Amino acid sequence: MKIVRIKKAGQSAWARMDKEDEFTLLDGAMAPTKQHARLGQAGVSTLPACDPANFLALWNNSRVAAEKLGRAIPTEALYFMKPQTCLSGHGDKVPHPGQGHNMILEAELGIVIGKKAKDVPLEDVAKVILGYTCINDFTAKNVVGKDKSFPQYTRGKGFDGFGGVGPCVETTRPDPEARIRGFINNRMVQDYPVKDLIIQPEELVAYLSRQMTLQPGDVIACGTSLGAETVVAGDVVDVTVDGIGLLRSHII
């Protein structure tokens, strides 16, 4: 099932995606109701696919990228946090941080938490995952490395709009062979399979739940591979994950 967040009559709600622009509202137990909605009808619009208290993102979690760039294969999750204010959704406008900033796209698979999770055993992880989504972990690359004594991941990845999430949450786990792709103006610049992730989604949730209590709606960006390229104002940037959909951002 593909789940989306929509705004209807000024209120946010969960809904099942029936078609690209048609939805059935869900109740608190994620069960479909008899209420239907359509984009543009009665002020219905889509929102980012989740509303996280915690937006966690992985670094150096691609085997191919680590080997190509000469990085050590990590034995534990290397992660940082993005502020909630960076959140953007499918079709949103994302401001470029301005002249002198090297803004890049990073196409990633995202995990959305469905239940409060603390110290979750690996065999129970599926019970706390709501589903999976597309992520664009935009980065001002020059900011991250500006101070040689302290990599500024939160600052470089925390500009408004720099956390693209959407267009939906797919409740079925992507196949290991599913491709994660990034596009700039329809030109593909990233293309790698889910199996390239060094630490797989279930392992990530189990590991992170030992560090902190994960809340419903939290999102984990699983990290990116090779091909992250610079984007500029006017670009249309897409992230796709097989079986989930397409997340589009307009750089302004």
Query: Using one digit for the tens of pLDDT, what is the confidence trace for 156-181?
Result: 999 999 999 999 999 999 999 999 99
Q: Worst-scoring range by mean pLDDT, 13-27, 29-43, 115-129, 143-157?
A: 29-43
Question: What is the pTM (predicted TM-score) of this model?
Answer: 0.96
Q: Is 68 helix (H, G, I), strand (E, B) or coil?
A: helix
Domain 1-47 annotated CATH 1.25.40? no
Closest CA to 49 of 174, 164, 183, 194: 164
What is 48-251's CATH topology? Fumarylacetoacetate hydrolase; domain 2 (3.90.850)
Domain ranges of the chain: 1-47, 48-251
| Residues shown for the chain | 252
Distances (CA, A) of 247 to 22, 92, 182, 200: 17, 9, 10, 22
What are the two backbone dihedrals, phi and then psi, of residue 247, each rounded to the nearest 5 degrees? Answer: -110, 120
Burial of 93 (0-12, 13-18, 19+ CB in 10 A): exposed
